[in-house]
Amino acid sequence: MTGRLNGKVAVITGAASGIGHATVELFVREGAKVIAADIQDDKGARLEEAHGASVHYVHCNVMEEVQIKAAVDAATAKFGRLDCIFNNAGSGGALDPIEAISAESFADVMNLHVRAALWGMKYAVPVMRAAGGGSIISTGSIAGLRSGYGPILYSTAKGAVIHMTRVAAAMLGADKIRVNCICPGGIATPIFAKAAGMATQVADTTVAAVAEALKQIQPLPIAGQPEDIAEGAAYLASDGAKFVSGHALIIDGGITVGEFRQGEGAAFAGVLQAVGVDPAAMQAVLASLSAQPH
């Protein structure tokens, strides 16, 4: 099927790499115009060059409310409307165990994942309401549904995104604004290496190794790709999902229903090894942090 998004305008945050980049590519192929919002200006410029009039890049640090507003404003200024916002920007989050969590790390993770998604809704809703409806999509995670798939702060934030999605869907349904989220499992992106502290350019080189490792951790023996999440976003943005709201769409290769190895983050031990991080060594570091006075 092609042309699912003909005539639609979308704002996608975290658009320059990983899931966001794949979603921009697919939305354009399906006929949408896209405001690609990110902080990676060089990659954003290349997106514009690749897609001409269909993509407009906006520098947007989602930790700054004013910049999220500017991205939404750019949609109406550049393309005359807004049909979809995909609150996608995020990171792997702090790895701190409970005993080592600081106020700063808590605020950073919650602001990046929860507050940024809320601000995306805040500024998209009036535009969509005036137009008679729209689609709001946020990136959740299987870590927000089950324990053991991520650090506690990241998992808590994603759990909040999932519940915020449900509450917002109930509040906005009368305006024909649909609110959904996508819960990815292990997806072959640089997020694992970045969470381990690697620089962006180095992390980008680990994706192939991550993909190989991911094949081993879920019932489907294939690696999840950014394009798999983009397909979910395209569906939720399209009129084909006109009766879908308040839903957390799990796209995870079956990992949440398959065999699970206990221990926080244990399911991704092979991925950590693939990017050159010794899981045992990381656990030792976390253990030493938790033993320090705070």
Place of tokens 């165990």: 97
Asked about 154 being catalytic, the answer comes back as: yes
Catalytic residue of the set 57, 123, 149, 154: 154
Taking Cα atoms as reference points, which of 13, 10, 228, 218 lies closest to residue 113?
Answer: 13
Pick the closest to residue 68 from 78, 58, 76 (CA basis): 58
Whole-Å CA distances, 196 to 30, 74, 199, 206, 282: 35, 34, 9, 12, 9
Q: Which two tokens stand for residue 245?
A: 């709201």
> Pick the catalytic residue: 8, 33, 158, 194?
158
User: Which of 141, 155, 238, 245 does the annotation list as catalytic?
Assistant: 141
Exposure string (b/e) for 157-177, b if CB count within 10 Å is 16 or more? bbbbbbebbbebbeebeebeb
The span from the CA of 170 to the CA of 246, in Å, is 7
Decide if 158 is catalytic: yes
Catalytic residue at 242? no
- List active site positions: 141, 154, 158
